Amino acid sequence: MTAQTRNPFDARARDWDTRPISRQLADVPPRLLARLPLTGGEHVLDFGAGTGLLAAAIAPHAASVTALDTSAGMLQVLREKGLPNVQTLQQDIHDGLPRRYDAIVSCMALHHVADLPALLRAFAHALAPGGRVALVDLYAEDGSFHGDNAAKGVHHLGFEPARLQRQAEDAGLADVGFEEIARIQRESRAYPLFLMTGRRAEP
């Protein structure tokens, strides 16, 4: 999907922050920050930032947060929050990035990207020396989380950590680790989410 293509998230942007699932994800930013200590001087990229639920929590602890997303609607809601050190960047991650970052974070966006190895290579390439990643998404599930996966632009029914770790290491990341960070309750089922941490492999 390019920034020019109609993005299915545009129509969902206004109500995004009050969705039950967004409320259930409220614990993710502080838990992620506990595993990604920041000193206040870092430039951080939030991939698939949406309305900035993660970016807003990170911004007070960083020099800047670049909120990258293809959805104009989601980024408009984020801009209306008036966060002084959060810049929006409406583009596809595969179209190249304007600079390098000390950290790349993401919440629930990986499963929307078809070519995951290319995404991980883009992350590794965009990290400054010593740069780290902290990425949150679903553990492998049976497709019931989104239900209508094709209509919602879902390319992966969650992820197996061992495979994702191999892909991340092949892409140029090191010290890759996983832990459960949250669970989303939908009807009678609980869907666990992982936090994947890692750093740019040194040459």
Ligand X SMILES: C[S@@+](CC[C@H](N)C(=O)[O-])C[C@H]1O[C@@H](n2cnc3c(N)ncnc32)[C@H](O)[C@@H]1O
What residue ranges bind ligand X (CB under 6 A)? 7, 9, 22, 48-50, 53-54, 68-71, 74, 92-93, 107-109, 112-113
CB of 138 to ligand X, least distance (A): 10
Closer to ligand X by Cβ: residue 51 or 64: 51
What does the alpha-carbon distance between residue 179 and residue 200 come to, in Å, rounded to a whole number? 19
Closer of 68 and 181 to ligand X (Cβ): 68
Pick the closer one to ligand X by CB: 6 or 130.
Answer: 6
Q: Which is nearer to ligand X, 10 or 201 (CB)?
A: 10
Q: Minimum distance from CB of 176 to ligand X (Å)?
A: 21
Return all residues near 56 (Cβ < 8 A) that are at least 6 apart: 29, 78, 81, 83, 86
Least separation in angstroms between CB 145 and ligand X: 11
3-class DSSP state for residue 153?
Answer: coil
Provide the β-strand partners of residue 178: 196
| Total H helices, total E strands in the chain | 6, 7
List alpha helices for the chain, DSSP H.
Answer: 20-24, 28-35, 53-58, 72-79, 116-126, 161-171
Distance CA 172, CA 170 (A): 6
Minimum CB separation from ligand X for residue 163, in Å?
A: 20
**Amino acid at site 53:** L
Looking at beta carbons only, is 43 or 112 nearer to ligand X? 112
How far apart (Å, rounded) are the C-alpha atoms in residues 150 and 39?
40
Closest CB 69 distance from ligand X, rounded Å: 4
Closest alpha carbon to 64 in 37, 46, 91: 46
Least CB distance to ligand X at residue 6 (A) = 11
Contact 99, 38 (CB under 8 A): no
Residue 22 or 76: the one with the smaller Cβ distance to ligand X is 22
